[in-house]
């Protein structure tokens, strides 16, 4: 080998390390001008340089012009095709090779493995054995084990393990690490530990791999023990522990270890910061998160997209959306993870409209959503009950092929359920190729919100029959369905089965469902006894539920107790005053009503004004009681007056007990006629084309009289009217409501 060749090879190596293709071509030209017959060694290095720089055409042309290619020449072009994934040319070159060694076989197997072609890789490995066991080396076994691990082929991994022992490679750390990884990923952590224990010389990489295996299987104490037993720890050891603690929900321990790592003066990378910020977000530890942010800036990691995305996520979880926005805007590089972190943050903090805007901005910036992004934006549409936008994202899911992901299809089932299209939700559910617990729970909750008790319970039983485990949310749906259908005994059975059969400890939401179950059925004394036996006091919703039923059943004694408890829990909540006032008003005790109102006024307690809205041609039209602000007010009030006459002819009698004012009967009727939901319904009757359902959303619970009136309106107009109030859905059709008599 001449000194010139050696010099040019050094220059080519620099070009590959700096990814400088144009400079490599200039060196190639210089070689052609200055050397008449370049040595095979130099030509091999040129082929290698072009291959590593991704120029396969130049690499192949140059290889074909080598006068006498040696084994290194063939291996170089074979490795180039293997690394690039060009398997057709790889197989062609391999079949033409006059001679092969272990490097040749490893390149072939590696090419198949890089494309997850397990069968082809195994065939290549068996052919390699047939060509002679001398070809085997640690790279062969490492490649096969990494393939086994990534594809979850534990049986293949065990077979390769046997070959490793047979051919004497068990002491190699390079082989032991992927073997341990294969076992731990499959859940066989004790097999991984056996490999670890039987390896005579263990380096820090093996320790890190074993710690990862323990943490992956939730064996935190074992990982701590191994971590502390290490004589030498590198930054990866610390990062592995911090990441594993975070993944196991031990956020405080992860933050403490991060502080210790910082005290040791060790170098931190993007994964260290990412895990630390995730831990801060999990604990909503804003102070520690800000400190980590400052350290990120000082160590020049702000331009790292992984760290930037973790910062956005941390601030969102700490409910500091403005900080998250500021970090996001300053990021020089953004990927789908960055955009998704901000989108999900908006959604989780109640800014669903902003989440949809971020999704649209992301697409305008040329970033394609993944399944998690699309599922998140659909969930935001569900929270807004925005069927129009949600349907558009449904179409995008189909076109992009992301509908097949369970996360997306689950979000769509939830969307249609929350938008009142329970039939569409059921159809989508039945079309899903795979259904998990979330899928079943989404539909169970959907049916429950519609008051379809039989369908809810039937679906729940099918879920159990399929061997799926219900969670807390599932039982909230089932108990709610029992409550709305008046199935008290069945509700008790399901409540008791939570602990006895499913190992789920009831939380306040489940107790609230039971309070609602008993209260709706008029068993108010029993509800009081149930509350007194609860392990925790009811929340605001629980007391309001009981108080609302006391109003419905006219039970002043229990109502006063519930109102006093609610006022003690939340002195500024108007529900306790309003509902108790309605009980007094129904009994004609107007002095008590006046006294309660004075109490509200003196304490500065204000009733949340009721409002209803309807979407038409992309615009939301909002109405409040006796609203005159709409440009269509004259048409709306004329429509309501016309409907009112027809309703009375059909037998409608206004329920004046719902009016909490000591005024004349005629004035009470007038006040009922122009409630916000009726104004919205009238708008829908005027502008929504016949044949389409009228969809109304109300911020409060629909009053009993409006509920009854809407039944008459649906019968008179022959229109479907879907009302989503603060509690549930009401589908009015042909004079009936989906909730039956249990409003």
Residues 625 and 713 in one domain: yes
**Residue of 284 and 700 predicted with greater confidence:** 284
- Evaluate if residue 38 carries a pLDDT over 60: yes
pLDDT of residue 308 exceeding 90, the answer is yes
- Residue indicated by tokens 């490793």: 164
Burial 297-329 (b: 16+ CB within 10 A, else e): eeeebbebebbbbbbbbbbbbbebbebbbebbe
* 656 is a domain residue: yes
Q: Specify the pLDDT at position 82.
A: 93
Any residues with CB less than 8 A from the CB of 209 and at least 6 apart, and which?
177, 180, 181, 184
pLDDT at 670: 65
Domain range holding 541? 507-607
Q: What does pTM read for this prediction?
A: 0.80
Q: Do the domain assignments include residue 537?
A: yes
- Cβ atoms 677, 612 nearer than 8 A: yes
Mean pLDDT, range 153-163, rounded to an integer: 91
609: nearest Cα among 675, 695, 707, 539: 675
Instruction: Supply the pLDDT for residue 562.
Output: 92
Q: What is the pLDDT of residue 625?
A: 85
How many domains are there within the chain?
Answer: 2
Mean pLDDT over residues 9-23, rounded?
Answer: 87
Give the pLDDT score at 419.
Answer: 86
Q: Is residue 722 part of a domain?
A: yes
637 has pLDDT over 70: yes
Give the mean model confidence (pLDDT) for residues 320-335: 95
Q: Are residues 601 and 630 in the same domain?
A: no
253-257, 386-390, 737-741, range with the lowest pLDDT? 737-741
Q: What tens digit of pLDDT does each residue of 507-566 get?
A: 999 999 999 999 999 999 999 999 999 999 999 999 999 998 998 888 999 999 999 999
Q: Give the separation between CA 184 and CA 203, rounded to whole angstroms.
A: 18
Check residue 606 and give its pLDDT.
79
Nearest CA to 232 among 192, 268, 203, 269?
A: 203
Reported confidence tier of residue 118, pLDDT bands at 50, 70, 90: very high
pLDDT tens digits along 577-588: 888 888 888 788
Whose CA is closest to 324, among 346, 305, 297, 298?
A: 346
Is residue 132 very low, low, confident or very high in pLDDT (cuts 50, 70, 90)? confident
Confidence of residue 461 (pLDDT cuts 50, 70, 90): very high
Inter-residue contact 141 to 164 (CB < 8 Å)? yes
User: Model confidence at 468, in pLDDT bands (50, 70, 90)?
Assistant: very high
**Residue 455 pLDDT grade (very low, low, confident, very high; cuts 50, 70, 90):** very high
Beta strands in 216-354 (DSSP E): none
- CA distances in angstroms from 513 to 418, 538, 742, listed in the order given: 19, 11, 14
What is the model's pLDDT at position 223? 95
> Do the domain assignments include residue 649?
yes
Question: 722 and 635, same structural domain?
Answer: yes
Domain-embedded: residue 526 = yes
What share of the chain in percent tops pLDDT 90?
A: 61
Residue 589: pLDDT band with limits 50, 70, 90: confident
Which of 225-234, 420-429, 447-456 shows the lowest mean pLDDT across its residues?
Answer: 447-456
**Nearest residue to 272 (alpha-carbon basis) of 305, 309, 297, 307:** 307
Confidence of residue 741 (pLDDT cuts 50, 70, 90): low
- The encoded tokens of residue 702 equal 């629909």
Confidence at residue 413, expressed as pLDDT on a 0 to 100 scale: 96
* Per-residue pLDDT tens digits for 174-222: 888 899 999 998 889 999 999 999 888 889 999 999 999 999 999 999 9
Q: What is the mean pLDDT of residues 385-408?
A: 92
| Residue bearing the bigger pLDDT, 365 or 387 | 365
Query: What confidence tier does 58 reach under pLDDT thresholds 50, 70, 90?
Result: confident
Q: Is residue 681 part of a domain?
A: yes
Residue where a domain terminates, one of 592, 607, 622: 607
Tell me: pLDDT of 10 over 70.
yes
Average pLDDT over residues 684-697: 92
Mean local confidence (pLDDT), 217-232: 94
Domain membership flag for residue 694: yes
- State the chain's mean pLDDT as an integer: 90
Statement to judge: residues 651 and 704 lie in one domain: yes
Question: Do 627 and 602 share a structural domain?
Answer: no
Q: What is the pLDDT of residue 2?
A: 57
- Given a contact cutoff of 8 angstroms between Cβ atoms, the answer to whether 678 and 709 are in contact is yes
63-82 residue pLDDT tens: 898 988 999 999 999 999 99
Q: Of the residues 607, 630, 652, which one is the last residue of a structural domain?
A: 607
Of 607, 638, 669, the position where a domain reaches its end is: 607
pLDDT of 367 above 80 = yes
Same domain, 562 and 618: no
621 and 653: one domain? Answer: yes
Query: Alpha-carbon distance 141 to 125, whole Å?
Result: 9
pLDDT value at residue 4? 76
Q: What is the 3-state secondary structure (H, E, C) of 174-221?
A: HHHHHHHHHHHHCCCHHHHHHHHHHCCCCCHHHHHHHHHHHHHCCCHH
pLDDT band at 657 (very low <50, low <70, confident <90, very high): low
Cβ–Cβ under 8 Å, residues 200 and 164:
no
Least confident of 104-118, 311-325, 562-576: 562-576
Looking at residue 488, its pLDDT comes to 94
* Residues 603 and 624 placed together within one structural domain of the fold: no
Q: How far, in whole angstroms, is CA 452 from its chain's centroid?
A: 27
Looking at the structure, do residues 674 and 730 belong to the same domain, yes or no?
Answer: yes
Residue 690 and residue 602 in one domain? no
Residue 472 lies in a domain: no
Q: Residue 278 — pLDDT band, cuts 50, 70, 90?
A: very high
Query: Is residue 733 domain-shared with residue 623, that is, in the same domain?
Result: yes
Residue 473 pLDDT > 60, yes or no?
yes
Per-residue pLDDT band for 11 (boundaries 50, 70, 90) equals confident
What's the CATH code of the domain at 516?
Answer: 1.25.40.10
Shared-domain flag, residues 679 and 573: no
Question: What is residue 671's predicted lDDT score, i.e. its pLDDT?
Answer: 67
């Amino acid at each position: 080998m001449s000194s010139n060749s050696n010099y040019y090879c050094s220059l080519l190596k620099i070009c590959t390390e700096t990814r400088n293709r144009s400079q490599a071509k200039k060196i190639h030209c210089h070689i052609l001008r200055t050397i008449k017959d370049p040595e095979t060694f130099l030509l091999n290095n040129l082929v290698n340089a072009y291959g590593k720089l991704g120029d396969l055409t130049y690499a192949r042309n140059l290889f074909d012009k080598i006068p006498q290619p040696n084994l290194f020449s063939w291996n170089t072009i074979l490795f180039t095709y293997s690394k690039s994934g060009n398997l057709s040319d790889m197989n062609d070159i391999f079949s033409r090779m006059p001679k092969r060694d272990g490097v040749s076989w490893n390149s072939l197997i590696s090419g198949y493995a890089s494309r997850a072609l397990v069968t082809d890789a195994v065939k290549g490995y068996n052919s390699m054995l047939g060509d002679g066991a001398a070809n085997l080396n640690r790279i062969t076994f490492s490649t096969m084990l990494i393939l086994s691990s990534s594809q979850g082929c534990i049986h293949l991994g065990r077979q390769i393990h046997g070959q490793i022992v047979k051919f004497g490679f068990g002491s190699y750390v390079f082989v032991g690490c992927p073997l341990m990884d294969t076992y731990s990923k499959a859940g066989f952590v004790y097999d991984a530990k056996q490999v670890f224990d039987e390896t005579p010389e263990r380096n820090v990489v093996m320790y890190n791999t074993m710690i990862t295996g323990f943490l992956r299987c939730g064996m935190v104490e074992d990982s701590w023990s191994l971590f502390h037993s290490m004589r030498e720890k590198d930054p990866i050891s610390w990062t592995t522990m911090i990441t594993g603690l975070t993944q196991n929900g031990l956020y405080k321990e992860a933050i403490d270890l991060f502080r210790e790592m910082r005290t040791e003066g060790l170098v931190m990378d993007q994964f260290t910061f990412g895990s630390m910020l995730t831990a801060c977000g999990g604990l909503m530890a804003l102070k520690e998160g800000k400190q980590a942010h400052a350290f990120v800036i000082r160590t020049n990691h702000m331009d790292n997209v992984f760290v930037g995305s973790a910062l956005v996520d941390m601030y969102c979880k700490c409910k500091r959306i403005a900080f998250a926005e500021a970090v996001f805007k300053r990021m020089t590089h953004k990927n789908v993870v960055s955009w998704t972190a901000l989108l999900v943050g908006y959604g989780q903090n109640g800014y669903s409209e902003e989440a949809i805007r971020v999704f649209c901005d992301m697409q305008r910036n040329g970033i394609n959503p993944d399944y998690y992004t699309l599922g998140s934006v659909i969930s935001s549409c569900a929270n807004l009950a925005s069927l129009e936008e949600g349907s558009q994202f449904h179409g995008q899911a189909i076109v992009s092929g992301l509908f097949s992901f369970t996360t997306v299809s689950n979000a769509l089932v939830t969307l249609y359920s929350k938008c009142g299209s329970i039939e569409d939700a059921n159809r989508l559910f039945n079309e899903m190729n795979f259904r998990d617990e979330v899928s079943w729970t989404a539909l169970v909750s959907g049916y429950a919100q519609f008051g379809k008790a039989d369908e809810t319970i039937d679906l729940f039983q099918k879920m159990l029959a399929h061997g799926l485990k219900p969670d807390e949310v599932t039982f909230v749906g089932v108990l709610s369905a029992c409550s709305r259908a008046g199935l008290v005994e069945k509700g008790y059975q399901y409540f008791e089965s939570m602990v006895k059969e499913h190992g789920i400890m009831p939380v306040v939401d489940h107790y609230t469902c039971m309070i609602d179950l008993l209260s709706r059925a008029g068993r108010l004394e029993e509800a009081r006894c149930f509350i007194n036996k609860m392990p925790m006091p009811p929340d605001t919703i629980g007391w309001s539920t009981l108080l609302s039923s006391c109003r419905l059943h006219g039970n002043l004694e229990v109502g006063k107790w519930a109102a006093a408890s609610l006022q003690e829990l939340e002195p500024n909540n108007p529900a306790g005053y309003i509902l108790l006032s309605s009980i007094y008003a129904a009994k004609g005790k107007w002095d008590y009503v006046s006294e309660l109102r004075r109490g509200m006024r003196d304490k500065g307690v204000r009733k949340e004004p009721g409002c209803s809205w309807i979407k038409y041609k992309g615009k939301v039209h909002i109405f409040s009681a006796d609203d005159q602000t709409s440009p269509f007010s004259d048409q709306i009030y004329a429509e309501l007056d016309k409907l009112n006459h027809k309703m009375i002819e059909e037998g409608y009698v206004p329920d004046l007990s719902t009016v909490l004012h000591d005024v004349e009967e005629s004035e009470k009727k007038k006040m009922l006629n122009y409630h916000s939901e009726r104004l919205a319904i009238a708008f829908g009757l005027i502008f929504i084309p016949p044949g389409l359902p009228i969809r109304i959303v109300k911020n409060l619970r629909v009053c009993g009289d409006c509920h009854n009136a809407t039944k008459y309106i649906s019968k008179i107009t022959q229109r479907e009217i879907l009302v989503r109030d603060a509690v549930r859905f009401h589908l009015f059709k042909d004079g009936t409501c989906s909730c039956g008599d249990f409003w």
